[in-house]
Amino acid sequence: MRFLSKKIDQQIAAYQHELTETHYREIDNMYRKIRGWRHDYRNHIQTMKAYAASENWDAIKRYLDLLDDDLTTVDTVIKTGNPMTDAILNSKISLANSKNVKVIADACIPVKLNLSEIDLCCIIGNLFDNAIEASMKLPEDQRVIRLYMDLRNTQLYLSMTNFTAGKKMKKEGKLFRSTKGEGHGFGLVRIDTIVERLDGYISRNSEDGAFTTEILLPQV
């Protein structure tokens, strides 16, 4: 039993390390795009000045439309008031959108959170990864993830719901049975470990066509 427990701990630690590196690569990629657009900003201005000098207003309009489309691809989707949360959320929303998964998000956190970047990254990252994977089993027009984050008194509240293709999942202990086979499910375990360590609360609810996770984390 002790050997088995140690092996599971090692697998979870390795999974956490891989997950954290993946999330930071996603965040870094998003900000590289933003920096690239800013780098080209002066060139865009000079081009429009040239069109203006020749009074080619139609060309300016077309160019502005192209810039608007281009900026939409790198602009941050969510602005919660908390930079750390913005970086993690926007990287995951960008990933979801690239897979044609619609994200409806409402998040407002205008304070410094009392938890580490790694903990927040693991919680949000795992929730999104599981929701995105479940969404991929649906037709594109049915792929929707709903996210809500806010401060409730002295606690951070997070709720995520995604539509699913299957029926109500069966629960085994505190967790729902993973449909991904052996070697999966560490993300859920990791979330529970973090929530428990922070004296928080987590609730999962599976219904036909939807799966919801709710988390409360103390901030004092």
For 90-113, write each residue's pLDDT tens digit. Answer: 888 888 888 899 999 999 887 778
pLDDT digits (tens, 9 = 90+) for 47-91: 888 888 888 888 888 888 887 766 655 555 677 877 778 878 888
Q: How far apart are CA 137 and CA 166, in angstroms?
A: 9
Its CATH class, for the domain covering 76-218, is alpha beta
Strands 201-207 and 144-152, bridge-based pairing? unpaired
Tokens of 220: 């004092």
Edge to edge, the sheet with strand 201-207 lists 102-108, 144-152, 155-163, 210-218, 201-207
Per DSSP, helices labelled H in 73-168 are 83-98, 117-135
Poorest-confidence range of 132-146, 176-190, 192-206? 176-190
The better pLDDT of the pair 217, 207 is held by 217
Per-residue pLDDT band for 22 (boundaries 50, 70, 90) equals low
Burial of 141 (0-12, 13-18, 19+ CB in 10 A): exposed
| Average confidence (pLDDT) over 181-198 | 76
Where does 54-82 have alpha helices with state H? 57-72
Is 126 in contact with 91 (CB distance < 8 Å)?
no
Nearest to 74 by CA among 107, 121, 26, 35: 35
DSSP string, 104-117: EEEEE--S--SS-H
pLDDT above 50 (res 183): no
Q: Is the pLDDT of residue 199 over 90?
A: yes
Q: What is the mean pLDDT of the chain?
A: 78
Residue 181 pLDDT grade (very low, low, confident, very high; cuts 50, 70, 90): very low
Residue 158 φ then ψ, to 5°? -135, 130
Burial 8-34 (b: 16+ CB within 10 A, else e): eeeebeebbeebeeebbebbeebeeee
Question: Of the given ranges (74-83, 122-131, 144-153), which has the lowest mean pLDDT?
Answer: 74-83
Q: Beta strand pairing status for 144-152 and 102-108?
A: parallel
Residue-range domain boundaries for the chain: 76-218
Q: What percent of the chain has pLDDT over 90?
A: 23
